[in-house]
């Protein structure tokens, strides 16, 4: 009976929620190295909103440019760490990334306007979540997000290899909706950083792009 309950708990945990470890500074100040986050897998990519923090499998788009956690470990140490993390449901997969959704399918995302602000569908966006002192982007870009893709960026813009770093690659840095694992819902460790992660209303409230609007 106890064994059955444990199996059911593991199945529910794997299907509905997963735990991930933050190894880098690319999402500071929102997420910091060694944070543990819970990722909600319910609804998947179909329920994403601009401003959401998402975990995705970057194997086909990101993994060739940036090393993830554990990249310097020996195979033996890596295997031990992987086994321990699996038991705790804390993922250390080198190809999994966490970024903020800035553009949804159809969105026109540009940086920067005359005031140095990011614009989404011709609306300038104030981004209070950016790392102190960072500009929205040191790299200029003008993209329209294709169907079934999203444009993602780190909050620490000066230290994040996000969609901008892959503009010249196949797919143009856009993440496939099918590669999205889930939406980050909360920081649960360390205890002093426990908090709920919510999408900022200023991004979510932008109207969808309309024909003719994208390239004014």
Integer Cα distance of 110 and 97 in angstroms? 23
DSSP summary character for residue 157: G
95 is catalytic: no
Integer Cα distance of 177 and 198 in angstroms? 20
* Catalytic-role residue among 19, 47, 99, 195: 99
Q: Please spell the DSSP secondary structure of 116-156, one letter per residue.
A: S-EEETTEEE--TTSPTT--S-SS-EEEEPPTTEEEEE-SS
* Catalytic-role residue among 24, 26, 137, 163: 26
List residues bridging with 183 in a β-sheet.
40, 54
Which CA distances in Å does 113 have to 11, 65, 120, 128, 138?
A: 47, 28, 11, 17, 12
Using the structure block, give the residue that is written with the tokens 């990519």: 45
Closest by CA position to 110, among listed 131, 139, 148, 149 = 139
Catalytic positions: 26, 99
């Amino acid at each position: 009976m106890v064994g059955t309950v444990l199996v059911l708990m593991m199945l529910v945990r794997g299907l509905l929620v997963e735990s991930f470890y933050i190894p880098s500074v690319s999402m500071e100040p929102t997420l910091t190295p060694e944070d543990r986050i819970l990722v909600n897998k319910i609804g998947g990519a179909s329920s994403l909103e601009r401003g959401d923090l998402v975990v995705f499998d970057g194997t086909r788009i990101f993994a060739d440019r940036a090393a993830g956690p554990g990249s310097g470990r020996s195979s033996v140490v890596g295997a031990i760490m992987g086994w321990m993390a699996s038991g705790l449901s804390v993922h250390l997969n080198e190809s999994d990334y966490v970024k903020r959704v800035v553009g949804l399918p159809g969105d026109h995302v540009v940086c920067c306007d005359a005031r140095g602000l990011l614009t989404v569908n011709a609306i300038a966006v104030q981004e209070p979540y950016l790392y102190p002192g960072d500009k929205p982007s040191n790299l200029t870009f003008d993209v329209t997000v294709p169907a079934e893709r999203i444009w993602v960026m780190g909050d620490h813009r000066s230290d994040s290899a996000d969609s901008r770093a892959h503009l010249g690659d196949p797919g143009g840095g856009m993440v496939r909706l099918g590669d999205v694992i889930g939406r980050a819902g909360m920081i649960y460790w360390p205890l002093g950083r426990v908090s709920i992660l919510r999408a900022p209303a200023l991004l979510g409230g932008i109207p969808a792009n309309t024909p003719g609007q994208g390239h004014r």
